[in-house]
């Protein structure tokens, strides 16, 4: 690949290499750092430990991460900030109604947690070790996720598609369902995350959807007549039981 030709004489990977390769190595660095933080704690881990685990020289690692703090920043970016920005993008899609949006948001959040469970939990555990500016970014992203989900619930309630519920409490419950995946789901080829994400998304929709209004499948006189037919059958059955 062309970026190999750009390698300097000192053997360092230049900063301007192709984005996909950089992203891949960065994700490996984060994964190893997460593992080390979990085993030895944040304070008990050095950048040299991270370089050794990834199999990079320390000067080489410096091309990606210059301090332990930067590792935390990268974790915040990869977990809470990425979640917030992809949820924001989905919420703005004009082609989806609130039900479809909620399903998409939950699916996305579950997949993010299922694919990086250790990172999410390590970040959660290190919250008190985060420098205040990074903690602020992390909190901002968490608030953004809450805002997007609360917003979709409010849209659905106004449209009469969702029950008139307390959207904040329900949004926090939905976030809890998604985040908890990091505690119990172990990604493996035999256990793909997609079916789990699909079911949790369907459960979240079922939780909020308006069913009291007994809408027929089609809002037409024929649809209403179909409802009448069902209910007459039901009445007849009840009267037969009473006889």
**8 A C-beta contact, residue 150 and residue 88:** no
Closest CB 27 distance from a copy of itself, rounded Å: 24
As beta bridge partners, residue 209 has 162
* Residue with tokens 């997609």, as numbered in its chain: 194
Closest CB 213 distance from a copy of itself, rounded Å: 9
Residue 191 phi, psi dihedral angles, 5° rounding? -125, 75
Binding residue count for a copy of itself, defined by CB under 8 A: 47
Closest CB 70 distance from a copy of itself, rounded Å: 23
Pick out residues in 197-226 that bind a copy of itself (CB under 8 A). 199-200, 203-204, 206-208, 211, 214, 216, 219-221, 223-225
Closer to a copy of itself by CB, 136 or 231: give it: 231
Pick out residues in 136-175 that bind a copy of itself (CB under 8 A). 163, 165-166, 169-170, 172-175
Figure out which of the listed residues 33, 65, 153, 177 binds a copy of itself, where binding follows CB under 8 A: 177
Figure out which of the listed residues 12, 125, 143, 191 binds a copy of itself, where binding follows CB under 8 A: 125
List own/partner pairs for 171-180 with CB under 8 A and 24 or more apart. Answer: 171/146, 172/146, 173/207, 174/106, 174/149, 174/204, 174/207, 175/109, 175/145, 175/146, 175/149, 177/106, 177/203, 177/204, 178/106, 178/109, 178/110, 178/113, 179/109, 179/113, 179/120
Closest CB 175 distance from a copy of itself, rounded Å: 7
DSSP-based three-state secondary structure for 209: strand
As beta bridge partners, residue 108 has none
Closer to a copy of itself by CB, 38 or 135: give it: 38
Figure out which of the listed residues 184, 188, 190, 243 binds a copy of itself, where binding follows CB under 8 A: 184
DSSP-based three-state secondary structure for 62: coil
* Residue with tokens 């007994």, as numbered in its chain: 214
As beta bridge partners, residue 191 has 188
Closer to a copy of itself by CB, 104 or 178: give it: 178
- Which string of x and - marks every residue 68-107 that binds a copy of itself (by CB under 8 A)? ----------------------------------------
**8 A C-beta contact, residue 71 and residue 50:** yes
Does position 6 interact with a copy of itself (CB under 8 A)? The reply is no
Residues at the site binding a copy of itself, with contacts judged by CB under 8 A? 38, 125, 128, 163, 165-166, 169-170, 172-181, 183-184, 196, 199-200, 203-204, 206-208, 211, 214, 216, 219-221, 223-225, 227-228, 230-232, 234-235, 238-239, 242
């Amino acid at each position: 690949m062309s970026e190999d030709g750009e390698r300097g004489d000192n053997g360092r990977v230049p900063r301007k290499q192709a984005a996909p390769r950089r992203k891949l190595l960065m994700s490996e660095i984060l994964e190893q750092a997460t593992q080390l933080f979990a085993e030895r704690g944040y304070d008990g881990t050095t950048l040299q430990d991270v370089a050794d685990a990834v199999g990079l020289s320390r000067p080489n690692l410096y091309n990606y991460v210059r301090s332990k703090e930067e590792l935390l920043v990268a974790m915040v970016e990869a977990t809470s900030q990425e979640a917030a920005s992809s949820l924001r993008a989905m919420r703005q899609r004009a082609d989806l109604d609130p039900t479809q949006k909620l399903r998409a948001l939950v699916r996305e959040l579950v997949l993010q947690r299922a694919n990086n469970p250790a990172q999410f939990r390590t970040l959660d555990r290190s919250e008190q070790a985060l420098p205040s500016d990074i903690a602020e970014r992390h909190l901002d992203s968490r608030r953004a996720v809450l805002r997007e989900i609360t917003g979709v619930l409010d849209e659905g309630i106004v449209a009469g598609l969702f029950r008139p519920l307390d959207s904040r409490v329900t949004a926090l419950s939905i976030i809890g369902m998604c985040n908890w995946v990091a505690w119990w789901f172990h990604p493996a080829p035999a256990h793909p995350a997609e079916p789990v994400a699909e079911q949790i998304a369907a459960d979240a929709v079922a939780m909020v959807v308006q069913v009291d209004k007994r809408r027929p499948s089609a809002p037409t006189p024929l649809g209403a007549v179909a409802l009448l037919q069902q209910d007459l059958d039901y009445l007849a059955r009840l009267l037969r039981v009473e006889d």
